[in-house]
Amino acid sequence: MKRLFLFVSALALTLTGCEDNESASTIMTSEITVDDVSFKPSANGLFTYYMEGTDETQDMRHLNLLKTNGTTITQGIYINLDLKEGRTNEGGSYIFHIGETANNLFANGIYVEGEMSYGIAGGTVHVTEMTDGYYKLVFEDVEARDVFNMANNRMINGEFKGKFKVVDPMEE
């Protein structure tokens, strides 16, 4: 009987080790690389906010991933997602270049490294809103371009999961 109990206990432990990759986690994970160098934003550097558009502009969701050294931002990825009308959040694959608007979701943004800033002008970011401010972002060949020196462009790839603090951009 004791052997049967130990066998059933061991079997139960092995069957409970599964993980749901789409549910929220209190732990931030970053596998993002910039030119194959790890980029891990600071836990207090994750912000998101929604801005309602006008007749001339889309509604937008902003996602900021910042790596800080004290109060100084050493690296940052700022993404703006163009949302379909009436949406404050929207998952999907956003492209960073111009295409057919009826079929594509669009994003724009900048990458900051020290005092340099790069316009994001190519690639795709796949966005999944999991729950309660948690997002998964997958960067696929995202190109950050230095408009003054094309040899200085940066490539962003990898996956990020974490909770973004919701902020009000109108507050000082």
In a domain, 20, yes or no: no
Q: pLDDT digits over 30-48, tens only? A: 999 999 999 999 989 999 9
* CB of 119 closer than 8 Å to CB of 143: no
Alpha-helical (H) ranges within the chain are 2-15
Task: Assess if residue 34 is contained within a domain.
Answer: yes
User: Is a pLDDT exceeding 70 seen at residue 25?
Assistant: no
Judge whether residue 130 has pLDDT over 90. no
Mean pLDDT, the chain, whole residue set:
81
Q: Using 50, 70 and 90 to split pLDDT, how confident is the model at 91?
A: confident
Instruction: Please tell me the predicted confidence (pLDDT) of residue 19.
Output: 40
**Is residue 30 in some structural domain?**
yes
Whether 45 maps to a domain, the answer reads: yes
93-110 in b/e form (b: 16+ CB < 10 A) is ebbbeeeeeeebbbbbbe
Residue 113 lies in a domain: yes
> What domain count does the chain have?
1
Q: Which residue has the higher pLDDT, 32 or 20?
A: 32
Is 31 exposed, middle or buried (CB count within 10 Å of its CB: 0-12, 13-18, 19+)?
middle
> Is 84 a member of any domain?
yes
12 domain-assigned = no
Supply the range of the domain harboring residue 43: 26-166
User: Does some domain include residue 172?
Assistant: no
Which pLDDT band, with edges at 50, 70 and 90, does 98 fall under? low
User: Using CA of residue 109, residue 27, residue 40, residue 172, what is the dihedral sign?
Assistant: positive
Q: What percent of the chain clears pLDDT 70, i.e. is strictly above it?
A: 80
* pLDDT tens string 104-124: 788 999 999 999 999 998 999
How many angstroms from the chain centroid is the CA of residue 170?
A: 22
pTM of the model: 0.78
